[in-house]
Structure formats: structure tokens, C-alpha cells
Amino acid sequence: MALEDDFRDAVARSRSLPSQSPASLLTLYGLYKQATDGDATGPRPGMLDVRGRAKHDAWAGRAGQSRADAMKEYIETVDRLGGAAGGGA
């Protein structure tokens, strides 16, 4: 499927993006997890696990978004953040 190929390409391109803000990285993380695993599962990490909690919240905030829509948004986000060298959707 073309969308899945474009998504895998965007994931590869995301590894060579210029430095990004924590908010951009969390957006990419949430979109990636939603695209690959669907809605968030498991309990929300505790207050002392700041990083785990932020990642879980970024993913859980995507609840209900289809995997295809998450893939499309991930591709668009990588393109916008400077990873458009590979083409894209």
C-alpha cells in the first residue's frame, strides 16, 4: 500500500531531521504510536515519570484517530519539519 510505504519513508527521514523542540518530538511520537499501535493502552505513568507521562499523553491525545489519518499527519509533519527531501505523499 502506498500510504504505508510513504509512512515508512517518513519514519526513516524523521531520524535525520534537524534538532526539534520537545513539543515537535512529542507530536511525532504520538502520531507514530497511533499509526502503528492504535489507541493508547495501559495506565498513565505516575507523576515522577515525567518523560513517560508526556509520551503517554501525546499518544493518548490521538485516541480515536484512524491509523491512516495518523500516518498521513505524520508524513505531513515530517515534511513540515524539514524532512521533505525524500518526496512524500
In this prediction, residue 88 carries a pLDDT of 43
Q: Spell out, as residue ranges, where the chain has pLDDT lower than 50.
A: 87-89
Closest C-alpha among 71, 72, 6, 89 to residue 33: 71
In this prediction, residue 89 carries a pLDDT of 40
In this prediction, residue 13 carries a pLDDT of 95
In this prediction, residue 85 carries a pLDDT of 54
Question: What domains can be seen in the chain, in order of their start residue?
Answer: 2-86 (1.20.80.10)
Widest pairwise Cα distance in the chain: 41
Question: What is the identity of the amino acid at 45?
Answer: P
DSSP conformation class of 39: S
